[in-house]
Structure 1
């Protein structure tokens, strides 16, 4: 009697299969972080009450390099702002004005104006002045004028008006718009 001597196909070893899965997951995670969303931790109280120190945010990477009035964005401040609290290079601020906008502080009633229209700023804590620093400027094309919501405890465009760049940040430095707050769980949700 003759037996068929066909060798059965070898199955990949379990360790090799696990390694391939891990590599694929890492590639997917890097892709998601680079092209879809990226997490950031808020380093300071400059955006209170909306964002608090220690909060973890997800930034929409599809919006990198763009900014619109009212957006809360994370941007690379190197060369325009000093190191962020904790020595980081990323800052989170609210976009008040973009290229071509005329922004001024303040009206007789204390409001900021953009192109002559007073801003409604419901995100400020009650009793917080829009700014203690007066300014009247035209935002250059391709840049943005940013402020923290906690105006009494925020280093922002107002504080850098005399510095190189005049406190303006190139829009190309925007890493992305803040999409949602993910930590701590009781406050998580869209911004």
Structure 2
């Protein structure tokens, strides 16, 4: 009887069953990772070149800013809660059913939601000023030498002097001449500041294309010498987001 039962067992079906279990477990793990640890995004613009290039696929650490704290220099992805981007086209369904399934489990970036990616230059309490005599951004009086900037980037075209409110961040693109970042939105009610609650996470790695795969640096050495936030005198931000120094015409 045992020999007959063994003959009736189909090895192909057993193999397919094992493959099915592996696929289900892999998809479940991917979904859990996407929900609690990492999430995929793609880069649609040149605003972060050369750190990030158009069509790069990146993975974002969802543990930042909570429970892991956010730091100056971090590249962050945040929701467009302030309407910085044009509205998505009507009828955008995020692709076919297969693409939607891959997006749901975290194996494909979600193109149906509005997000931006920028570098954190100032955190709550920081006074961020553009520019010093050499055209550099200063944070709490310390000039920044920024090796991550696009070679053609300049700062002087948009001078500003702001103090970042608690619970907010000041963000700028690495390609300063082609980045509509905090500088562009100082006259709005938000003052150009992004709420920490809007931050999805910290961009950790470039996953695709393969020839660009690698860790996304936050260059801690650039900010190591920045004095503590609120350590020096700073102008109060006006409701428009500009400092009192900028308020005059």
- Name the TM-score, length of structure 1 as normaliser: 0.85
Q: Secondary structure at the match of 1:137?
A: strand
Asked if 1:45 is matched to 2:37, the reply is no
> How far apart are residue 143 of structure 1 and its match?
0.3
RMSD: 2.8
User: Out of 182, 185, 197, which is 1:160 matched to?
Assistant: 185
Distance between the aligned counterparts of 1:175 and 1:70, measured in 2? 16
Distance between the aligned counterparts of 2:19 and 2:134, measured in 1? 65
Q: Report the CA distance shift for 1:81/1:22 in structure 2 as closer, same or farther (over 3 A).
A: same
Asked if 1:63 is matched to 2:64, the reply is yes
Distance between the aligned counterparts of 2:82 and 2:150, measured in 1? 30
Question: Which of the pair is proportionally richer in strand?
Answer: 1
What is the match of residue 185 of structure 1?
210
Is residue 111–residue 118 contact of structure 1 (8 Å, CA) maintained in 2?
A: yes
Is residue 81–residue 198 contact of structure 2 (8 Å, CA) maintained in 1?
A: no
Question: Which of the pair is proportionally richer in helix?
Answer: 2
Q: Secondary structure at the match of 1:63?
A: coil
- How many residues align structurally? 186
Q: Report the CA distance shift for 1:54/1:43 in structure 2 as closer, same or farther (over 3 A).
A: same
> How far apart are residue 60 of structure 1 and its match?
1.1
Deviations 1:71-90 (A, max 9, x none): 01111122253348987411
Structure 1 consecutive aligned stretches of length 4 or more whose deviation exceeds 3 Å = 13-25, 83-88
Where structure 1 has 5 or more consecutive residues not aligned to the other structure, the ranges are 1-10
User: Out of 50, 70, 77, which is 2:80 matched to?
Assistant: 77
Where structure 2 has 5 or more consecutive residues not aligned to the other structure, the ranges are 1-8, 89-110, 217-249
- Of the structure 1 ranges 176-185 and 84-93, higher mean CA displacement relative to structure 2 is found in 84-93
Q: Report the CA distance shift for 1:120/1:87 in structure 2 as closer, same or farther (over 3 A).
A: farther
